[in-house]
Structure 1
Amino acid sequence: MSETRQVRPPSGDDLDRAWAAVAGRLDPTPLAPTALAPGALLKLESFQPTGSFKVRGAIAALSALPAGVAAVTASAGNHALGMAHAAAATGRKVTVVVAETASPAKVSALRNFPVELVRHGSGFDAAEAHALELAGPGRVYVSAYNDPHVIAGQATIGRELDAQAAGPLTVVCGVGGGGLAAGLGMWAERRGDVRVVGVEAAASRGVSASVAAGRVVTVTVGETLADGLSGNIEPGCVTPSVISGRVRLTSVTEPEVGEAMRWLFTRHGLVAEGAGAVGVAAVLAGKVEIVGRLVVVLSGRNIAPAAYAEAIA
């Protein structure tokens, strides 16, 4: 991306408005007991109608749009499915730009929703650049992570935990662009007795590098089972500044991600994509200091059957 977009961090009012929008359209996801630690719980965001927590931010973002304004985004993954579901739920007009090389299965899934689907470019960067060109008067670009309303929407996981899990908590979640960790960090700061631990794939540590540098930096990104967390963040992204001081960051290796996916299947019968399993991976690897009760966000289940079978073999 050649230019830096000016994006503001979310406010407390944004969190409240997001909660009203999301609570009115999504049922709370359940908690499941787990043997990860005494009294530990899994927050099953994989049970969302789109299979991922991303639908929360999408609903919050579309609900915040002024009347008559449409949305445009670039994604062929969980954010795209979230935006498509939110379009159907809110009646908003949404354009989703995907690369020409996007998975046919994901493109087919998106065609089941009332969105305008545009195929452009040979990769995500080209698709995103085209989506940004399409944004303008009457149409707003909604990032998967660098958007105040998306971040506020992800914070609604915490609002559900207020009613589901009393007392001091350690909440563990994955970190890709940082929208989920940023939202949970803001919620935890409000609640006061929660520590949030964000987990990156060791092959893609753009957020932690940016937090350490005090500005957005570019890192080398390798292949990872947690492909939903892979990639650098856009220039000027607000998530590192929101995360800094609110969220503890760690990372997990590829063998640790695979082991967590197998563990979730064999112990709980739960399917988790790599990005959804990194929190469990960090706990199993002893990389999380637990204070109070442990809650791990199982953030998504969307993985191709062949890739899943290979990962847990």
Structure 2
Amino acid sequence: MTRPSELVVVTGASTGIGRATAQRLALDGLHVLAGVRRQEDAERLAAVNVEPLILDITNDDHVAALGERVAGDGRRLRALVNNAGIAINAPVETLELKEWRRQFDVSVFGQIAVTRALLPAILAGTGRVINIGSVAGRVAMPSFGPYAAAKFAMEAVSDALRREVAEFGVEVVVITPGAVRTNMTESGIATATRLSEGMTPEQHGRYDKLMAAFLRQVEAFARDGVEPERAAAVISRAIAARKPRTRYTVGPDAAMVVPLSRIVPDRLLDRVLRRQMKLN
């Protein structure tokens, strides 16, 4: 078997979109450095052209080791897929600052750290940065504030970086999935349930109806969402394209909501979202 001549890094590859993407890019003939947090995940993921690495993107030592691994390999870094993230969701009033900081540490600062560590190799090989966004990065639904805020932030980071490195031949692409069936849905439900239990009696009176609607919404995402392999196929296309688009959507809901968010007035969109969540 021919040794792949190019590398790709995928963070958050233990499950869901990250796992499906690592497997798809390996089939595309790339050597995938797949970031996972646990050894048991690494053992399950290891395969031809898939090399799992223990990687906590909030750990400076892990990120530095990843940069050294790529720099010492000698092969071109074709792309970085920033997929690692968490979902912490609750009404703004009820969520402690430490939880907001944790959301941003993983889903914003961790992604920036990995990008900075690998950017020299990306620039040297005119590679690509693929940031996995979300519909929540374009429309913030009630109680999705922390997750949406992090995704909105990465939209801005992606735009700035794209404009900074375009003259060097580096493309920065945002993939915007809608509902996808992943383990993040289950962990998001568990986290939201834990956080709601810590609300004060007054907050329960204000937000219990909203949290029940939120849980129904997330369960619908898990039931009706597209398979992660669909997102992986779009990511593969964005890496392979000679001139990729700056943004791709995944799933029918993303294809509808993203353009809608640009033209619908805020008040009308508020009513649409409340109706969708059955809050009226």
| Superposition TM-score tier, normalisation by shorter sequence | 0.3 to 0.5
What TM-score comes out, normalization by structure 1 length? 0.32
User: Which has a greater percent of helix?
Assistant: 2
What TM-score comes out, normalization by structure 2 length? 0.35
